Amino acid sequence: MTRLMLGRTLERICKGVLLLCLLHFIIMMILYFDVYSQRFDLFSRFNNGRNGSRNSSAAAGNGHHFYYYNLSRPNATLASYLATAEQLVQSGKSETIQTPSPKPLPPCPENPPGLVGRLLIEFSSQMTMERVQKENPNVTEGGRYMPPDCRPRWKVAIIIPFRHRENHLKYWLHYLHPILRRQRIDYGIYIINQLGEDTFNRAKLLNVGYMEALKDAEYDCFIFSDVDLIPMDDRNLYHCYDQPRHFAIAMDKFGFRLPYAGYFGGVSGLSKKQFLKINGFPNEYWGWGGEDDDIYNRITLNGMKVSRPDVRIGRYRMIKHERDKHNEPNPQRFNKIQNTKNTMKKDGISSLTYRLVQVKRYPLYTNVSVEIGKPPLRPFKG
């Protein structure tokens, strides 16, 4: 009986020891996993810091952020983790905010909406450069302007052959700057001033203007205008066309009619490609007349046609004046016009020579002063 009691007691003791061992094992496993989880969190944070840029970019790419927190750490609270997460989210947002790139401008409309149409042109009121400058605050130095709200098809250089016409220039700038701005033209104005008192050479000055304007910008369209001609309708758009353009087709001095079919004088326009195709303008027309007919011949001989606006739109008013000194009619002009086919390859932009004296940029235009030489001596007839 005593042995039986002793055996049962030992059995109970053994069971108790086994239970204690099992409890100890369970406690050790819990502590082990707790320590392991803390170490895993440490390494995870170290790797996140080392690869932060890669992880942040990946998260920004798919719009999600992933964070790991160990709530079993000492002194850790849910509020502290939430605050840390909010700070990380805010920093992630600040990194992904980028300044939006400006949208490309749309092409300018073929028919600008701000055009007026028929204009009243008069030269009786007194004109000053100060007044013209106040009227055109958006024109930049050198007479440059670019539309702020659209992208023009052409970049236009407007070239004016010039000598002793300061009063005419004031009126020209007064009327043309507002017209060109309404037409949404990207343009620059170049006054090509012939120095000295030798015989005037309009076409050669135009060649000089072409060369000098290209030093300023990559112009692809060139408008050649006399300083005394003002358009009477702003729908006569000053840009280039598929064919060489004659703008001044109906001047008041001709009764608002084209004087003859081959007339190309006053105001004309050619693209850079068209200009080079005809070798520019002739350099050997000294004095008044003939050069515009030679240019017309060059155009037709090179397989192109002259385009013109409607006669109701291509009307011009001329500032009345006396003929300039040293610009008398050229007696050789008719003979030269007859020989355009033989001379246009060797006389033009390819043979141009001149001496550049000064380039000065004014608020409303660029003045280019040049010396272009003298006409050759005429053979003596005994």
The answer to whether residues 247 and 266 touch, using CB atoms and an 8 Å cutoff, is yes
What would the DSSP string read from start to end of 7-65? HHHHHHHHHHHHHHHHHHHHHHHHHHHHHHHHHHHHHHHHHHHHTHHHHHHHHHHHT--
315 is catalytic: no
151 is catalytic: no
- Biggest distance spanned by C-alpha atoms of the chain: 173
Among the listed residues 12, 24, 39, 321, the single catalytic one is 321
Determine the angle formed by the axes of helices 52-62 and 2-50, rounding to 10 degrees. 80
Alpha-carbon span 297 to 281, nearest angstrom: 11
Q: Which H helix or E strand runs over 225? A: strand 221-225
Which residues, including other chains, have CB under 8 Å from residue 348's CB and lie 6 or more apart?
A: 207, 278, 279, 280, 281, 282, 283
239 is catalytic: no
**Under DSSP, is residue 108 helix (H, G, I), strand (E, B) or coil?**
coil
Among the listed residues 211, 288, 326, 361, the single catalytic one is 288
Q: Which H helix or E strand runs over 360? A: strand 355-361
Among the listed residues 291, 293, 294, 347, the single catalytic one is 291
347 is catalytic: no
Among the listed residues 318, 333, 344, 347, the single catalytic one is 318
154 is catalytic: no
Among the listed residues 3, 64, 323, 378, the single catalytic one is 323
Classify residue 172 as left (phi > 0), alpha (psi -120 to 50) or beta.
alpha
Alpha-carbon span 299 to 269, nearest angstrom: 12
The answer to whether residues 109 and 150 touch, using CB atoms and an 8 Å cutoff, is yes
318 is catalytic: yes
Candidates 193, 117, 135, 167; CA nearest to 319 is 167
Among the listed residues 212, 226, 293, 294, the single catalytic one is 226
The answer to whether residues 230 and 261 touch, using CB atoms and an 8 Å cutoff, is no
Residue with tokens 């969190």: 41
197 is catalytic: no
326 is catalytic: no
Burial of 150 (0-12, 13-18, 19+ CB in 10 A): middle
Catalogue the active-site residues: 226, 228, 288, 291-292, 318, 321, 323
